[in-house]
Amino acid sequence: MSVDGKLGGADDLVRALRVNSAAAAHAASPEIPHAAIAAIQSRTARKAARQFPFATVFGLAFALAMAAIVYGNQSYGPEMYAANGMVPAADAHAQGKNYAVFDLNLNVRALREEQLKRMTKTPELIILGASQWQEGHKELLRGMDVFNAHIHRDYWEDFPGMVELLVRYNRLPKKLIVAIRDKQFTPVDARKDWLWEPGIPAYRAMTQRLGIETESYLKTAPYHRLQALISLPMLFENFTRWYNASEHPGPTADREKQKMDVIMPDGSINWSTYKKQNVFSARRTASEVDALVQTALGSPLLVDPKGVAAYESVFAYLKSQGVQVYLTNPPYNPAFYDRIVGTPYAEGVAKVEALTHKFSAEFGFPVFGNFNPHKIGCTSDMYIDAEHSNPQCLQKIFDQFLALGGASKAS
């Protein structure tokens, strides 16, 4: 409506933008008459008979494309994605050989199960913990018969899960080191990673064995693993890595390789020469520490009471089976630890440490190690990032274990 012919601009806007019906967004554009739309729709309706072949072709093509991606990921990254991807590694370890891999992006929980399945005798000591223990070679424990069953991104349900595997394959040891890391009790729905997902079936089996509360299926379904399995960028990455590599994963007699990381039969790992010389620099460590400090300050630690209860049940079970458990907390890089002192994150760390000591008091399990690196004597140059130490620092921690009487009488 034009109130004043001279005010064309304002009036135009009012007319153009005034919307009282669904058509108003296009009020300024000329429209096709409804009859024309009806004609178009009628023409297309005549082709309606084709809709079912169309749906079938769509469904088949979609399913095929998805299957191709899954197949590609399983073929070019079997260690992470194939159901039997860790079998060759476990076979090699059973024969006393090392196994070379591109990197540690692998289904380490499956590897542990395959290794335990093939063991012919129960080790004297088994270490359960996270990647902080990855360089914990048996030589650091004065030749004890050790199986380092550490797993990456270890969370609370991994402990019952790993104990389930030990029970299932009759490999409960006399001595068991149980490492509790800072994020151990993070509730399932607060996690940002997904490497824990493959460990859930073993966890469920143990909760059934013990008759304790189990985390819901909805929360623990392997959505993210499935997402990674059907990931196109992941396929691209797996394929280019495989295509460009001069060597591929397989058994090896070498303890260390130029470009590939090596998994040892005792469960520990050796980084590639390339990573040691070119990647793990002091500068990178500093930047990793910076990044982790930022993350830590923005996300206080959470403790899931369900996880604490699960630990108590499994500890009681282990005690009833005569297993001597040793508890430990892995030390941080001092460069990280000193920067979180006094923050809410440090309060969370103290809470986890207090829980460790509570378990110790409740079950009579000795404790060694400490989140505080100064108490262990680990220095910043012994770390590749904010929390992963090298064998030098691990030796100091294991020395504490040995001082507790952890070593066998024979050794």
- Of the pair 277, 294, the CB lying nearest another protein is at 294
Q: Does residue number 298 form part of the binding site for another protein (CB under 8 A)?
A: no
Stretch that binds another protein, among 5-13, 170-178, 182-190, 247-255 (CB under 8 A): 5-13
Q: Does residue number 38 form part of the binding site for another protein (CB under 8 A)?
A: no
Coil/strand/helix, residue 349? helix
Residue 170's contacts (CB-CB under 8 Å, 6 or more residues apart) are: 122
Quote the CA–CA distance of 368 and 90 in Å, as a whole number: 31
Q: Does residue number 42 form part of the binding site for another protein (CB under 8 A)?
A: no
Order of strands across the sheet that contains 250-252 = 250-252, 98-101, 261-263, 269-270
Q: Does residue number 20 form part of the binding site for another protein (CB under 8 A)?
A: yes
Quote the CA–CA distance of 160 and 214 in Å, as a whole number: 11
On the CB side of 237, CA atoms within 13 Å amount to: 12
Nearest distance, CB of residue 7 and another protein, angstroms: 6
CB 324 within 8 A of CB 366: no
Q: Does residue number 3 form part of the binding site for another protein (CB under 8 A)?
A: yes
Q: Among 5, 38, 39, 48, which residue sits at the site for another protein (rule: CB under 8 A)?
A: 48
CB 89 within 8 A of CB 104: no
Q: Does residue number 25 form part of the binding site for another protein (CB under 8 A)?
A: yes
Q: Among 38, 39, 55, 282, which residue sits at the site for another protein (rule: CB under 8 A)?
A: 55
Stretch that binds another protein, among 26-34, 104-112, 155-163, 203-211 (CB under 8 A): 26-34
Q: Given the structure tokens 């590609």, which residue do they identify? A: 72
Residues 213-242 that bind another protein (CB under 8 A): 223, 226-227, 230-235
- Of the pair 4, 244, the CB lying nearest another protein is at 4
Stretch that binds another protein, among 65-73, 112-120, 314-322, 392-400 (CB under 8 A): 65-73
- Of the pair 47, 121, the CB lying nearest another protein is at 47
- Of the pair 13, 316, the CB lying nearest another protein is at 13
Distance of CA 330 to the CA centre of its chain: 17
Nearest distance, CB of residue 58 and another protein, angstroms: 4
CB 178 within 8 A of CB 132: no
Q: Does residue number 37 form part of the binding site for another protein (CB under 8 A)?
A: yes
Q: Does residue number 190 form part of the binding site for another protein (CB under 8 A)?
A: no
Nearest distance, CB of residue 207 and another protein, angstroms: 23
Q: Among 26, 357, 374, 375, which residue sits at the site for another protein (rule: CB under 8 A)?
A: 26
- Of the pair 1, 410, the CB lying nearest another protein is at 1
Stretch that binds another protein, among 32-40, 135-143, 178-186, 202-210 (CB under 8 A): 32-40
- Of the pair 50, 357, the CB lying nearest another protein is at 50
CB 16 within 8 A of CB 10: no
For residue 266, what are the CA distances in angstroms to 19, 59, 93, 127, 406?
73, 47, 8, 10, 18
Backbone angles phi, psi at 292, to 5 degrees: -70, -35
Q: Does residue number 66 form part of the binding site for another protein (CB under 8 A)?
A: yes
Q: Does residue number 297 form part of the binding site for another protein (CB under 8 A)?
A: no
**Considering Cα of 20, then 25, then 27, then 30, what sign does the dihedral take?**
negative
Which tokens sit at 7?
A: 């005010």
Own/partner pairs, 377-380, CB within 8 angstroms, 24+ separation: 378/331, 378/333, 378/334, 379/334, 380/285, 380/333, 380/334, 380/335
Nearest distance, CB of residue 177 and another protein, angstroms: 33
User: H or E segment at 99?
Assistant: strand 98-101
- Of the pair 31, 347, the CB lying nearest another protein is at 31
Residues that bind another protein (CB under 8 A): 3-4, 6-10, 12-14, 16-26, 28-32, 37, 40-41, 44, 47-48, 50-55, 57-62, 65-66, 69, 223, 226-227, 230-235
